[in-house]
Each structure stands twice: as C-alpha cells, then as structure tokens.
Amino acid sequence: MTKPTLVILAAGMGSRYGGLKQIDPIDDNGNKIIDFSIYDAIRAGFGKVVFIIKKENEADFRTCVGDKVKSKIEVEYVFQDLTNIPEGATIPEGRVKPWGTAHAILCCKDTVKGPFAVINADDYYGVSAYQSLYDFLTASHESNPYPFCMVGYELKNTLTENGSVARGCCQMDANGMLETIDERTNIIKTPEGASYSKDDGQTYIPMSADSLVSMNMWGFTPDIFPELDKSMKRFFKEDINVNPLKAECYLPMEVGSMVKDGIATVKVLSSKDKWFGVTYKEDKPFVVSSIQALKDKGIYPDKLWD
C-alpha cells in the first residue's frame, strides 16, 4: 500500500497574526511549527507532503520550508487560487479572502491519489496524533460509506488568552464515531470555561470547556474529492450570495454533512498530546516555551534536519 500523504493547509492570509505566520521561526535554529509537524509525520511513516499555498508565497515557502525537507520526504505544492471555482460561478467584486478549507482540499484532487491526512500549517498536534492517523490510514476498513477519521482535542486545551478562535464542535456515539460537527466562530476563553458568539461578539453563549473539537486534523481517502466538488457547487449557489466577501466553505461542516447524509463515517481518534498554535502574535511566546520544553524532554532534537 502507498504510504499516506500529509496535506498541509498553508494558504491562509494570517490577517489576525499580522503576517505569514507559517514561516515564522519558533526556536533559535529557525524551525517553524510546520517543521515539527513534518518531522512527526515522517517518523510516523508518511511518504509525501503536499503544501497548499498561495501562488504569490511560493518562492518564500520553498526557501523557508520545502527546500529544507525535500531530502527527507517527497514534496509537492498545490495552489489555492481564487479563480478555481465551479463552472458558471463568478467571483464577487472585491473578494480577496480564499474560499475556505473545503475548497483548499479540493484543490489537491489531481495531486493526491491515495489516503491522506490534513493539518493546519500553524498548529502543533503532538507526536501520537500522527501515529494514530498513520495507523488508521494504512489499516483495512470494511466500510461503506467512506471510512474517514479525525483527531479530536478538548476545547480547553485549544483556547488562547489573546482573542477569539473558530472550532468544529463534535458529538460522538458510544463507539467513538462522529455524529455531528458544528462550526462555531468567535469562541473565547472565560473564567467559567468558554463562550461563543453568533453575532460578531455582541452577545456570548456559554459552552463546555470539555467539549471535543476538531482542529482540522483529518484522515481521508480520495473518495472525498467528488463530495467536496458538490459542496463547492452548493456553496456558490447558496452561501456566497449571503456574504459575498467573507463566506467560506468549511471542511468540518462539509464532513459533518457527509456523516449526516450517510455518505461517510468518521472515527474520532484521541491524542495524548496537547495542541497549541499561533493564531495571534501574542501566542508566540507560549509556543516557543512549549517547544523548548519538548526538546528538553528529548522528544525532538535541537536541530530537526541535521
């Protein structure tokens, strides 16, 4: 069986962070969060990495990321292009924002031919998460509908002190299979745990800090591509008319719809490691200290690629 591919979402604009955070070093040796993700994937057994980026960032991304790892793992690039839309659809005047994570994954349909994992470029997921994904993607699954998976994290372990976040909130059955996933935006940390807003922060609704959430760490087969193609056609017929400049087609919501419609099953995998990321610049010191602590424990070498 072909080794699984790691697909890394790195085309986000980074507006809240204030720059191209995917290539911002987090240690004294110039390593970035994405380097640790690739390192973990390689030692779990993944055979290729595909970077989804914007075309205008290609040169910087190759120099800072791709060229450093291409001797360790096969590397390919996919561009998330605003003009890559369904036939007959039009781009709203003034639209700059990418079409969302579901669209980003669909951009890989001509590049990824076997089982693959999906992660965010600016998130640290932990060693065990990649091993769990590899084991699932290389196992035999006698299942119809499509057998997919995701790695879930407790909401309280994914919040930042420095602003709001968006998370896919999950419900599972007794067998650990995903039942529903609800994309919530404007989630903030509170003294009681967490709250989210439906009206851009005017009012907040309490939610459990122990809720299981998706951090966009998924395992798929290429069967998902035709379904995401349908998702984008629906998105342009319905959602884009409501919010033409900011509407996005979210991967968690589309996977949730596939589960609800009986098209796919999603096994929820657990990770023993803590997630962390750099949504905002103020998050960076915590990430830097966390990575150093992992190095001090011997989980990572000081220089990843030497």
- pLDDT tens across 180-212, in order? 988 888 999 999 999 999 998 899 999 999 888
Q: What is the pLDDT of residue 61?
A: 86
This prediction has a pTM of 0.90
Q: What is the pLDDT of residue 182?
A: 85
Show the low-confidence residues of the chain (pLDDT under 50): 13-18
Domains of the chain: 5-152+213-249+274-296 (3.90.550.10)
First to last CA, the chain: 29
Q: What is the pLDDT of residue 16?
A: 46
Q: What is the pLDDT of residue 299?
A: 95
**pLDDT tens by residue, 229-277:** 999 999 999 999 999 999 999 898 899 999 999 999 999 997 777 788 8
Q: What is the pLDDT of residue 20?
A: 57
Q: What is the pLDDT of residue 18?
A: 46
Residues 7, 105: contact at Cβ < 8 Å? yes
